Structure 1
């Protein structure tokens, strides 16, 4: 398969995933009725998955520096599998949850009014900065990770290293900030 074909597949998968996230997150398609309390477990599961991926990525870096390619591959494949599982769980939560948690929404009415913004203070601004950077970088890293995996599995080390210099720190940032976002917003989930 030519590199041009690989780039097209990676672009297609990335666009498809982005479109699915947007469509289901914006509730364009109607969601089935589900127990809202049961859905609340998903953000915690997502944070655990992100935290696990952080550890796996750090271990992966350690093992590749030790020239242990087999363990490096296994750790990255596991991190990729877990990140894929995270994506499914993330989409499910945002599609099925009857109401999104909003940082600062003390009365859980779905609106953060001026008094709630004042009460949240600078922590709301910090949260939004982390959240926005997390979302943008999560969307951008997917094609880089896919290409990195393709070249890594084909043992095209030069190309793999070149893209991984960018993909790795972004992916690591996304997994870390995923946990941070959960820890910051979790107090605003309706229980």
Structure 2
């Protein structure tokens, strides 16, 4: 398949997923297992797991960049696939937790800092979806010049999201019920 055909084929999916995922996540915040008639205990075991996945994602992203800088394209490719898988696993656990538990309020002394980190984390989490998908498709299409160009934008944003995900967890974890 020609490179442009690969990109054209996936452009529709990039657009659909970039819109559908944030809408679905936002909609699921209004849905709970209890409202659906499913009586479950809150999945309180999930936040430390998905915070750990965020931390692991940050490490994987850094190692993946080092791999490509050292010319190890296959390792880079595999690590990036793992990072995408980690992000998907995070998202599924995050939604499951919030469908099973009430939102936790931050009660600490650093509210302005907490909300700045949280809001920037959320905004960038929405923006990263098309960036990751476009970056991945450029590599898939072997358009490495364009892949590298957009990866220079995608990488720091994705790393920020992964790191701030851990920070948000650490700041709010004392207040979980």
Q: TM-score, normalised by structure 1?
A: 0.85
Structural RMSD (CA): 1.5
Match of residue 103 from structure 1: 106
2-side partners of 1:148 and 1:2: how far apart?
13
- Asked if 1:8 is matched to 2:12, the reply is yes
* Alignment pair present for 1:157 and 2:144: yes
Matched, 1:34 2:21: no
Runs of 4+ in 1 over 4 A off after TM superposition: none
2:23 matches 1:19:
yes
Does residue 53 in structure 1 map to residue 57 in structure 2? yes
Q: TM-score, normalised by structure 2?
A: 0.91
Contact 2:118 2:164 survives alignment (8 Å)? yes
The answer to whether the 8 A contact 2:32-2:100 is kept is no
**In structure 1, which of residues 66, 77, 84 is the aligned counterpart of residue 70 of structure 2?**
66
Larger relative contact order (C-alpha < 8 A, sep ≥ 6)?
2
Alpha-carbon separation, structure 1, partners of 2:32 and 2:60:
35
- Alignment gaps of 5+ in structure 1: 105-119
Match of 2:126 in 1: 139
Match of 2:87 among 71, 83, 87: 83
Once the two structures are TM-superposed, the CA of residue 3 in structure 1 deviates from its matched residue by 3.7
